[in-house]
Each structure stands twice: as structure tokens, then as C-alpha cells.
Amino acid sequence: MKQAPHGMSCVAVIHADPASSEQACDICSNGWSGNWEHLHCRGAKARYGEGSNGVRDGLLTTVHITDVNLDGPVPRQFCALRNLREFDLDGGQLTGPIPRWLLEPNPDPAANGTLCGSNIQELDLSSNRLSGTIPPEFSIKKSMQEFKIEHNHVTGTLPESFGQLPDLWRIRLATNHMTGRMPQSLSNLTATLNELWLDNNDFEGDLYMLGPTKLVWVTVHNNPRLCGMVPASVRWAHGYNPAGTNLGNPC
């Protein structure tokens, strides 16, 4: 059985097309062995990833490169993984903006014009050094379920377009430099949204748009310009703590 080449980096590996037996490094075939602790092939037995039933189907679906001090901008080479579902790069030293290449067409002819990361369900870029704003065009990522960018240097608002993501259930924005009001469109996520981390930012205004939601966990503390009546869905959620806000007082 073939072994993975010694010293090959994760970024070098993902240039290979995991579905093609003609590639020199087809890491999702049954012919390869080795310690792929940061990558998951669907069907392979692992701590994380989908379909861990031991029967691989050639699709590389999960990247978990966490707490390894990965630095620089988010590598564009990950666009090559057209079947990616979980993209987790938390706990590094990544800099630059939230990657706009996720909104661009995949250059691989086999991708048939789809966007990079068109199947992403979980995007976790938390605990890095990212800056800039959240691109409103992320609303085209209809498969998105989890959006996690807490503990960065992100500015600006949460785009109104996020209320157009039908399966979005987890939003983590805590400990950034974000401002503005919560988008009214979050009221569209009544059947899905159950986790919202807003603490340690500078959001403003009331949270009435969260009234129809079924939040299970919410954090709002240390947003001194949040104000107004608190919907029951927020007040009774786990993690709710109005310290450092003006919630409960008129705006």
C-alpha cells in the first residue's frame, strides 16, 4: 500500500483531484495510507467529517487545520476542493480579509462553472487575525449552515443578505470590531437559527427581529449601544447576559 510522501504539506496535497485516479496524490483512494489528520475523505473513519462508515467514495469533504499557526491570507488553493463541506481553519495566524475567492468561479473545468466552496456547510475562520468586512454576496452560499468568525478584527455589519440563507443555524461574530444594527432579515430564520454570538462588539439598536426565532444560545454582553425591549427568545436563551449593554432601556 502506498504511503503519503514524507513532508508533503496540506496545501500541496489539495492541488490533487481526489476523484481522479490519474493524479499523483489521490489522497481519498483506498490505495493511500498515512496520517491525514487535517483532511477527511467521505466514508473514512475519523473523529469528524460526514459518512464515517469506512467505505470511501473519493470525495474530500472536510478540512480541519486548527491551532497550527497557519499564517498569511486564507489559501486560494482550497478552491480546488469542489466537494468541500466543512472548512475549518480556526486558531491560526491568518491575516487579510474573509476570502472573496469563495465567491468566484472554480477554475477547474470539472466544476462546470460552480463557485469555489459551493457546497460549504461550515465555515470556521475563528481565532485568527482576519480584518475587513463580511461580503454581502455570501448569501449565494445557500448550503451554509454555520458561519464562525469570532475572535478576529472584522469590522462593518452583518449583511442583510444573511437572512436569505435557508439552513443557517449558527452565527458566531463575538470579539471583533463590528458595528451597526442586526439585519431585519434574521426574522426569516425562524425554523433554523438557534445560536448567535454577538458579544464584545459595538452593535447598536434593538433585537426585535429575533423575536420569531428559536434561539437556544445567544451572547450579547459588552455591546453598549444595544438597547430596547428584549424578546423572550433572547432573554431565555442560554448564555444571555445583558452586562455592558443598554438592553431593557429605551433606544
- Quickly count: other Cβ atoms within 10 Å of residue 249's Cβ: 11
Torsion of CA 102, 108, 114, 119, to 10 degrees: -60
Give the number of C-alpha atoms closer than 13 A to the C-alpha of residue 77, restricted to the C-beta side. Answer: 12
Helices (H), the chain: 10-13, 232-235
Tell me what pLDDT residue 13 has.
41
pLDDT 10s digit of each residue in the chain, 251 long?
A: 333 333 334 344 444 333 333 343 445 544 444 434 556 565 545 444 444 444 444 577 888 888 888 899 998 888 888 888 899 999 999 999 999 999 888 887 777 778 888 899 999 999 999 999 999 998 889 999 999 999 999 999 999 999 999 999 999 999 999 999 999 999 999 999 999 999 999 999 999 999 999 999 999 999 999 999 999 999 999 999 999 999 999 99
Tell me what pLDDT residue 37 has.
55
Distance from C-alpha of 227 to C-alpha of 245, rounded to nearest angstrom: 7
Tell me what pLDDT residue 131 has.
98
Tell me what pLDDT residue 49 has.
46
Q: Is there a contact between 121 and 89 (Cβ–Cβ < 8 Å)?
A: no
pTM for this predicted structure: 0.82
Tell me what pLDDT residue 28 has.
56
Tell me what pLDDT residue 2 has.
35
- The side-by-side arrangement of strands in the sheet containing 217-219 is 39-41, 60-64, 86-88, 122-124, 146-148, 170-172, 195-197, 217-219
Close Cβ partners of 122 (under 8 Å, ≥ 6 residues apart):
85, 86, 87, 88, 145, 146, 148
> For the chain, which residues make up each domain, given as ranges?
61-247
Tell me what pLDDT residue 139 has.
86
CATH class for the region spanning 61-247? alpha beta
Tell me what pLDDT residue 39 has.
60
Tell me what pLDDT residue 87 has.
92
Tell me what pLDDT residue 70 has.
84
Tell me what pLDDT residue 56 has.
45
Tell me what pLDDT residue 114 has.
84
Tell me what pLDDT residue 175 has.
99
The amino acid occupying position 242 is P
Tell me what pLDDT residue 40 has.
58
